[in-house]
Structure 1
Amino acid sequence: MSWTSHHRRGEILRDVVAAIDERRDGLLPMDLPGVADTFTDELDLLAALQLRWHTRLSGRIEAELAKQPMDLEDAVVGAWHAAADDLPGLRAVLDHYYERPADDAMAVALAKSQAKERVTLAVMAGRGAYADAECVRIGSMIEARARAEYVPSVRTPERKPFAGLVDMLRSVRLAA
């Protein structure tokens, strides 16, 4: 993959995440411009979204553990909540396709991904080791707790950056 195509893929993926956060219908937006040209199929897009979720979740876990290292499981659950708040549409897409994969290949890929995520949850909560066969089950329990205790945050709409000096002056004038 060339540098240009790598950046184009990242740009399209950001557009996809924005669209699914807006739609929140749990469906992959294969109709967005550039998606069909950038991703080979639904599984390819879903894999990129799964990686985005895992990266966000891992970063949130690290941040939570830095803040409250004494109760590891609470930190992991809090991190799951924060990641779900950051990427609500993405979480809805993953949940939708976990329950209703488009085909067998997607079901297999998502099952592997989900098992790895659950192992990560268990290990980061201090409840097992990567080689421990029980980690998937323990991680599943931690995930179930995170889902049961999850209350989506109410977010205020993000302020759009000023397009220029005229927009900034206009907003200041309107505020006065």
Structure 2
Amino acid sequence: MTWNAFHHRGEILQTVIDTADLRRDGVLPLDVPGVSETFHGELDLVGALHLKWHARLSGNIERELMTQPMDLQDAIARAWAKTSVEAPGIRMIIDRYTETPTDAQMADALQRARTKEWLKLAAAAGLSSDESASSARAGEQVELKGRAAVGQPASQNIDDVVTPSLVDRIKAVLAA
């Protein structure tokens, strides 16, 4: 892939993301100009969107962990929820195509990606250090906690959650 093709693909992908965020219907915006010439089918486009989701989620997890939270599971759930708020169109597309994939290849790819994400969530939350089914279930619980945070009333936006200060965390540790 040439440098120009790489940038063109990125521009088309950003247009797809912007369109998905506007529509919020969970449908791949295949009607965006340049999509059919740039991506090799639905799986290629869903895969590119999944990579964008994963990169943003990873960044949000890192930012949450930088605050040295007292409750790792809550911090990782907040990171998941924040990512969902920041990229609603991508999340809706991933959810829709995971629930109702267009073919077996997409079903397999999205299930593997979902399991890997759950394992990452569980590891970041300090719930596991392996790739077992129980670790994936622990990560799924973290995701569900993040989903619940997004479903809260508008008055409790994820950005309104107060992270305790360093002094408050030290006090809590000393009190325990």
TM (norm. structure 2) is 0.83
Partner of residue 77, structure 2: 77
Query: Does the aligned pair in 1 maintain the 2:22–2:89 contact within 8 Å?
Result: yes
Partner of residue 16, structure 1: 16
Task: Pick the structure with greater CA Rg.
Answer: 1
Partner of residue 112, structure 1: 112
Counterparts of 2:5 and 2:113, CA distance in 1: 25
Counterparts of 2:51 and 2:98, CA distance in 1: 15
Determine what percentage of the aligned residue pairs are the same residue: 46
Spell out the pairing of 1:18-57 with structure 2 (5 A cutoff): 18-57=18-57
Q: CA offset at residue 135 of structure 1?
A: 1.4
Aligned-partner residue type, residue 74 of structure 1: D
Partner of residue 126, structure 1: 126
Query: Does the aligned pair in 1 maintain the 2:61–2:79 contact within 8 Å?
Result: yes
Aligned-partner residue type, residue 80 of structure 2: W
Query: Does the aligned pair in 2 maintain the 1:68–1:75 contact within 8 Å?
Result: no
Counterparts of 2:89 and 2:146, CA distance in 1: 17
More deviation, 67-76/114-123: 67-76
Aligned-partner residue type, residue 19 of structure 1: T
Counterparts of 1:99 and 1:131, CA distance in 2: 23
Q: CA offset at residue 133 of structure 1?
A: 4.2
More deviation, 142-151/87-96: 142-151
TM (norm. structure 1) is 0.83
Counterparts of 2:59 and 2:71, CA distance in 1: 17
Deviations 1:83-132 (A, max 9, x none): 01110111111111111101111000000000000000000000001444
Alignment RMSD: 1.7
Counterparts of 2:132 and 2:111, CA distance in 1: 18
Runs of 4+ in 1 over 3 A off after TM superposition: 130-133, 151-155
Deviations 1:3-36 (A, max 9, x none): 1111110000000000000000100011110000
Aligned-partner residue type, residue 69 of structure 1: P
CA pair 76-36 structure 1, distance change in 2 beyond 3 A: same
